[in-house]
Amino acid sequence: MRDRDLKGRFIKGHKKAGGFAKGSKHREESKIRISESLEGSFGIKSRRWRGNNAGYVAKHLWIVKHYGKANKCQNVECGFDKPKRFEWASITDKPTRKRNDYIMLCCSCHRKYDMGLIGITLEEVSL
């Protein structure tokens, strides 16, 4: 069966996908029950918590959430006077949820570090 007529218009009865419960609302008692079941299930207590098995992006987001945005370049040899943007960079092979495994770098230094053009160790970092 075609879903368009000869002029290319949708045939009557062919509607956008929506699902059988589209537009339905939860009752108040259901909202309360859902709220109570989710109470205290964030972070480590979450059923989706993966700990150190979490992905690259998840660990970087965790660092931003707990330690704030990166606000300076800790590379001593950075050639920029006033970079506009900073990022957290992992200095270990496998990123973890430890602050010591990350340093703040400007975008330029972060790219160079990831490509292996500059090597940064904790001893070389200006804290």
Q: pLDDT at position 16, please? A: 59
Beta strands in 3-126, from DSSP E residues, in sequence order: 86-90, 102-106
Provide the 8-state DSSP code for 77.
T
Instruction: Tell me the sheet residues that pair with 105.
Output: 87
| pLDDT tens, the chain, 127 aa long | 567 777 777 666 655 556 666 677 889 999 999 888 887 777 777 777 787 788 888 888 888 988 999 999 888 888 788 888 999 988 887 778 888 888 999 999 999 988 888 877 666 665 5
The label of the residue with tokens 């370049």 reads 73
3-class SS of residue 40: coil
DSSP E strand boundaries for the chain: 86-90, 102-106
Query: What is the residue type of 86?
Result: F
